[in-house]
Amino acid sequence: QLISLWKRFVDVPFSPKLLREQNHLLWLSIRHLVKDRNLKVDLIKVPAHSDDIYNAQADSLAKDTHLSLQPSVSPLAFCHVPCLLTFNSLPIDMNIRHFLRSIADARALLSFCSMVRFTALGSPSLFDWAGIHYCLSQIKGFASHKNGRPEFWIFRIKLFLDMLPTLTTLQQRKPYLYSPDWLCPQCNSAPEDLNHLWTCPYILPELNPCLTHHSEVVKFRDSCLSSFLSLKPLDSKFQIEFSALDCWNYETPSPSCLWLTKGLLPAHLTKFLNIYFPLSVIYKTISPLLNDFQVELYGEIWLCQNVLFHAWEESQGILAASKLRGPSSKPPSTAKSSQIYNSSLATVSQDSWISWISSSIIR
């Protein structure tokens, strides 16, 4: 690549395309030196590790420069570039379009992580926002209706933003349809908010979100552990400390475990992994595993919850037409008893559950 760039930008007249290249100020400095001293330079490719004296000298100089502080003097090119752009008094030595895009992304991410729904959880330092941004950037299909799985992408975004239509959310949006006194339709023991989705004790063991969430967290943890161990050999200390991280505490579950379930990477997770791996490797490894984890939550918990929730809505007389209408000033013509409105699917016998679910699947 070095020889190719040299032939394109040093041995030929100046081209504006040079300004799109990374380190273009350095290239312009080289051009200036070559032309100012009337040098003739021939580049010869030398095989790596061939003990070539000049190649070894170039490697040594490159390593020393990489480890040293940035030069305090301006490159010669500063006086010869057609246009020198700076940011915070520093020269921009990269593709200007990419630079402006990165600045816009950084500002958008700063505004995003400053949203009340995130700051209410605690300090921004609790989360690895760079990793979160990377994972979100991998969700490319949710904006298209032709990607084959639009419902899952929508679920993942709403899960992250705490916008899933749980009963608590619906009680806030449409209090005229959903009484604020109603508890979880499945267990009737607690308000059905986002966190309750993963801790609700259904009456059917086969449809117990709490146990399902436990098993999926363990599967996610073990998948991460296997993936990182496949990258390089690590001792048992790494495995023990990784498994003991608070984000894997599914018993309570811990706040960081609930954050991870939503897609918020806890800072302590990536900080621990960063001892052994670069952040780029960590993000690239965790992102697809997090996606698989949330796919299982979507299929095993959310879709089942939707089926049961719609059945409960019908039992309360909440139909699709009533959801489209706004609050009515007229009282309903037929008032239902408080016993019906306080009913819960938890009061239905297990045999009735199995019969109803089976018939629903067959339909």
Which tens digits make up the pLDDT trace of 287-302? 999 999 999 999 999 9
What number of H helices and E strands is found in the chain?
Answer: 17, 2
Q: Out of 22-31, 162-171, 332-341, pick the least confident.
A: 332-341
Sign for the CA dihedral angle at 63, 66, 71, 77 comes to: positive
Mean pLDDT for 25-44 is: 82
CA distance 26 to 32: 10
Residue 86 has pLDDT above 50, yes or no: yes
- Report in angstroms the alpha-carbon separations of 267 from 114, 160, 256: 16, 16, 9
CB 95 within 8 A of CB 21: yes
- Report in angstroms the alpha-carbon separations of 253 from 125, 209, 261: 21, 13, 10
Alpha carbon dihedral 51, 57, 58, 64, in 10-degree steps, equals 130
CA distance 38 to 110: 49
Q: In which band, very low, low, confident or very high, does the pLDDT at 5 lie, cut at 50, 70 and 90?
A: confident
Residue 348 has pLDDT above 60, yes or no: no
Residue among 15, 264, 20 at smallest CA distance from 127: 264
Return the percentage of the chain with pLDDT > 70, whole number.
82
Contacts of 21 (CB under 8 A, 6+ apart): 5, 9, 27, 95
Cα 312 → chain centroid: 33
Backbone phi, psi, residue 285, to 5°: -80, -45
CB 197 within 8 A of CB 302: yes
The angle that helices 209-231 and 279-297 make with each other, rounded to 10 degrees, is 150
CA distance 270 to 132: 11
Backbone phi, psi, residue 87, to 5°: -140, 120
pLDDT at 56: 84
CB 135 within 8 A of CB 265: yes
Q: In which band, very low, low, confident or very high, does the pLDDT at 320 lie, cut at 50, 70 and 90?
A: confident
pLDDT at 264: 95
Cβ-based burial of 95 (10 A; exposed 0-12, middle 13-18, buried ≥19) = middle
Mean pLDDT for 78-106 is: 80
Domain map (residue ranges) of the chain: 2-94, 127-318
Average pLDDT, the chain: 81
Residue among 195, 156, 104 at smallest CA distance from 299: 156
CA distance 134 to 284: 8
Task: Render 95-124 in DSSP notation, one character per residue.
Answer: -HHHHHHHHHHHHHHHHHHTSHHHHTTS-G
CA distance 39 to 275: 47
Q: Which two structure tokens, joined as six digits, stand for 51?
A: 């003990």
**206 versus 167: which is more confidently predicted?**
167
Q: Which two structure tokens, joined as six digits, stand for 23?
A: 């380190």
Cβ-based burial of 72 (10 A; exposed 0-12, middle 13-18, buried ≥19) = exposed
Q: Which two structure tokens, joined as six digits, stand for 223?
A: 């998948």
